[in-house]
A = this chain, B = another copy of it.
Amino acid sequence: MPKRVDVRERRTLIADALMRVAAAQGLEAVSVRHVAAAAGVSVGMVQHYFRTRDEMMVFALDVVRDRNQARVTAALSALGPDPQPRAMLRTLLVTVLPLDEQSRADGLVALAFLAYTAVRPAGVKSDDTAQMLGFIASLLPDPDAAVGVLALMEGLGMYVLGGQYTAEQALKALDAQLDLLF
């Protein structure tokens, strides 16, 4: 056998290139060749790690989700021990909003993937929504309000991505909602 290689790392390298292409030119521009070029590797190598384009897409989608999850976890644990529920919730929501340039790129990719998966009948959809919903509900005086809170966050993120809302507007709306709920 030749040099053993960290498969996961190689796949992630390619997925990163995919996301750069998708953030810059949309999912339509994500072809095996483009991604290979963006990653600075050969088409053959991409094929070596992903048998089909779809496999590559699904993996990239997973990476995006994991990144978001990690961001949230990091932000929450940065709050120190025993934070107030409201502070935790606000941190969670702010973290997911596409406010800085990096999370904005991630948001664009996630949006593209959302439209992508909305059509695919063979759902690769994990139910991290249900999990998120449960977590939000546990922080809320009225657990039933979690559905609305999550939707509000998603909508705010949408409009920030689209440029119709500024980051300040989104944060203000979010805090106003927290004032109503707590």
Which residue numbers of A lie inside 8 Å of B, CB to CB?
24-28, 108, 111-112, 114-116, 118-119, 125, 127, 129-130, 144-145, 147-148, 150-156, 158-159, 161-165, 169-170, 172-174, 176-177, 180-181
Contacts and interface: CB of A to CB of B under 8 A. Distances in A.
Interface residues of chain A: helix, strand, loop or mixed (majority):
helix
Contacts of A28: 27-28, 116
A99 to B, nearest CB: 14
Contact of A176 (B115, B148, B159): B148
Contact of A159 (B150, B161, B162, B173): B150
Contacts of A148: 152, 156, 173-174, 176-177
Contacts of A112: 115, 118
B24 A145 contact: no
| Among A151, A162, A163: residue with most chain B CB under 10 A | A151
